[in-house]
Chain A
Amino acid sequence: MFAAAMAGILATMLMALARASKGPTVFDRILAMNMFGTQTVLVIAVSGFMSGRPEWLDLAIVYGLVNFIGTIAVLKFAKFGNLADDGRRAGS
Chain B
Amino acid sequence: MIDPTPMRMRDKIVLRVVSKLLIPFILLFGLYVQFHGDFGPGGGFQAGVIFAAGFILYGLIFGLDEVETVVPHRFVEIGSALGVLIYGGVGVVNMMLGANFLDYSVLAHDPAHGRHYGILAIEAGVGLTVFATMMLIFYAFADRGRRPGGAA
User: Does a CB–CB distance below 8 Å link A and B in the complex?
Assistant: yes
Residues of A near any B CB (own CB < 8 A): 55-56, 58-59, 61-62, 65-66, 68-69, 72-73, 76, 79-89, 92
Main secondary structure of the interface of B (DSSP, over half): helix
The answer, among B22, B60, B66, for a CB contact under 8 Å with A83, is B60
- Cα(A59)–Cα(B143), bound, Å: 31
B contact residues around A86 at 8 Å (CB): 8-10, 62-66
User: Is A87 in contact with B9, judged by CB distance below 8 angstroms?
Assistant: yes
User: Is B57 in contact with A58, judged by CB distance below 8 angstroms?
Assistant: no
B contact residues around A59 at 8 Å (CB): 41
Main secondary structure of the interface of A (DSSP, over half): helix
- Cα(A85)–Cα(B63), bound, Å: 6
A contact residues around B59 at 8 Å (CB): 83-84
**Chain B, interface size: which category?**
35 or more
- Cα(A91)–Cα(B43), bound, Å: 48
A contact residues around B65 at 8 Å (CB): 86
User: Is A58 in contact with B41, judged by CB distance below 8 angstroms?
Assistant: yes
Q: Which residue of A lies closest to B64 (CB)?
A: A84
Known contacts A59-B41, A84-B145, A86-B10; A76/B50 CB under 8 A: no
Known contacts A84-B64, A84-B142, A84-B145; A65/B50 CB under 8 A: yes
B114 at the interface (CB under 8 A from A): no
Q: Which of B25-33, B83-91, B97-105, B123-131 contacts the other chain?
A: B25-33
Map CB proximity to A onto B60-89 as digits: 1 under 8 Å, 0 otherwise.
111111100000000000000000000000
B contact residues around A66 at 8 Å (CB): 26, 50, 53
- Cα(A92)–Cα(B57), bound, Å: 25
Known contacts A72-B57, A88-B63; A83/B29 CB under 8 A: no
- Cα(A56)–Cα(B40), bound, Å: 8
B4 at the interface (CB under 8 A from A): yes
Q: Which residue of B lies closest to A89 (CB)?
A: B5
User: Is A72 in contact with B8, judged by CB distance below 8 angstroms?
Assistant: no
| B78 smallest CB distance to A (angstroms) | 22
Q: Which residue of A lies closest to B26 (CB)?
A: A65
A contact residues around B40 at 8 Å (CB): 55, 58
Q: Which residue of B lies closest to A59 (CB)?
A: B41
| B43 smallest CB distance to A (angstroms) | 12
